[in-house]
Amino acid sequence: MESRIAAALGGAYGPVAVVLADEKPEGALEFKPGRWGCVMFLFANAAKGKTAAFSAETYGCWGGGVGLGFGNAYLRFPGGVDCFAHFLSSGNADWEQGRQVGEALKAQAGKEFPRDFLEGEGYLKTPEHVHRWLEELPIMEIASRFVVFKPLAEVDPGTETPATVVFLADPDRLAALVILANYARGGMENVIIPWAAGCQTIGILPFREARTDSPRAVVGLTDISARKYVRPLLGGDLLTFAAPWRLFVEMEENVPGSFLEKPTWQALIRAQR
């Protein structure tokens, strides 16, 4: 599938399609069942031309299970949701159950995760803040067996329709995508930047938007843990821009005659070369 937007933006990486499927593509990259892995690492591979697949057994990490729509995987976090709330915030070292789970992890999970489990990642101030965030997160169970990441250029529009199209964008291209998302819409808030894991901003958050009458795009990769994993593959200057399918089609149709064909944008892109 060719994209007018991708052609106008240029850039090192083409858009990635997020496809909900009942069959796994032949040769797709996939985490081993029960093994930890960052979803965004395989997203980076898809941006570089690979195909990746995830299932309820191979989503890599608890946040990835949630982020891709495989239900509330935080229930399976060591020590349950309460330990997860401490892990994401102030740490588990200050309460008995958390300390016991953390000490057991030291013998099972290397050094980094037990350390973060006990000391906390500090992404929200308190466990109570985490619980409130979880109440807002659109945790869902998708109907399909697999979530597939593949280059949009390899999508056959006659046989499959992506749920979401995800662009990797530097500041100039992100600015262009934000303008285009608002170009033919009323209002000026047709793009959102919610606080969430990198996989959640290309998964369940745009999935939720797709269910609305006027779906918005979701800017992501503001998750610094995910950024650490994708930096070796993609560099350090990119964010994601996830457009639910209906919005993507609308944006595609609006490229002709828009600012993307005007001198200001063309001069800005030439200045990068």
Task: Please tell me the total count of domains within the chain.
Answer: 2
63 and 189 part of one domain: yes
Domain stops at, among 94, 110, 136: 136
Looking at the fold, whether 104 and 228 belong to one and the same domain comes out as: no
Report pLDDT for 108.
72
Q: Which residues of the chain have pLDDT under 70?
A: 109-110
Task: Give the model's pLDDT for residue 106.
Answer: 84
Based on the fold, state whether residues 10 and 102 are members of the same structural domain.
Answer: no
pLDDT of residue 109: 62
**Residue-level pLDDT at 155:** 97
Q: Which residue has the tokens 């109570």?
A: 128
Q: Do 182 and 202 fall into the same domain?
A: yes
pTM value surpassing 0.75: yes
**Euclidean distance between CA atoms 270 and 256, whole angstroms:** 19
Strand partners, 192: 218
What lies within 8 Å, CB to CB, of 208 at 6+ separation is: 138, 140
Please write the tens of the pLDDT for every residue from 232-255: 999 999 999 999 999 999 999 999
Residues 46 and 117 in one domain: no
CB 221 within 8 A of CB 89: no
Which pLDDT score, from 0 to 100, does residue 110 have? 67
Give the end of a domain, one of 115, 136, 157.
136
pLDDT at 186: 87
pLDDT at 203: 98
Q: The domain containing residue 242 runs over which residues? A: 4-67+145-270
Residues 162 and 258 in one domain: yes
Which token pair is 88?
Answer: 């994401």
pLDDT computed for residue 111 by the predictor: 81
83 and 172 inside one domain: no
Residues 57 and 12 in one domain: yes
